Structure 1
Amino acid sequence: MAGIVNYIKESFGELKNNVTWPTWAEAQSLTILVAVFSIIFSLAIWGVDTVFSKVIAFYFQWIN
């Protein structure tokens, strides 16, 4: 149990002293960037899924 407590204390110390945190403006701009790319990527996946589902539906109609 002491090992876990020591690990948590060292982790907090590491986060407090050695990690370079972004400024609020950087965090906001990076959040927007991630949101935009997530939307673009989800639309691309949706488009590919739609095309594949139509191709598969056409194939099964064709073989019947």
Structure 2
Amino acid sequence: MFKSIANYCKSCYDELVHKVTWPTRKELTQSAVLVLTASLIIAIIVWLMDIAFKAIMSLVYPN
């Protein structure tokens, strides 16, 4: 049993070290900036929708 666990761990290590193509620093930075920008845009859209729905609801249900 311990041999199979050791073989599994060794194969995982070999795959991560020798077979996986890791992104360069530039690619990683570009991807991170893209995700942050998209998240910010989506957050702004949701915020604007919230403001619009609040305005509509205040017209439908006035105080």
C-alpha distance in structure 2 between counterparts of 1:51 and 1:4, whole Å: 57
Distance 1:5-1:52 versus aligned 2 partners, 3 A rule: farther
* 1:53 is the counterpart of 2:61: no
Measured against aligned partners, the alpha-carbon deviations of 1:13-64 in whole angstroms (never above 9, x if no partner) come to 4322332210011001111111111111100010011101111121101xx7
C-alpha distance in structure 2 between counterparts of 1:42 and 1:18, whole Å: 37
Shift of 1:4: 7.1
C-alpha distance in structure 1 between counterparts of 2:5 and 2:47, whole Å: 44
**TM-score of the superposed pair, with normalisation by structure 1:** 0.71
**After TM superposition, where is structure 1 displaced by more than 6 Å over at least 4 residues in a row?**
3-6
Provide the secondary structure at the position in 2 that maps to 1:58: helix
Number of equivalent positions: 61
**TM-score of the superposed pair, with normalisation by structure 2:** 0.72
Percent identity over the alignment is 32
| RMSD between aligned residues | 2.3
Shift of 1:6: 6.3
Aligned twin of 1:26: 27
Long gaps (5+) in structure 2: none
Distance 1:41-1:13 versus aligned 2 partners, 3 A rule: same
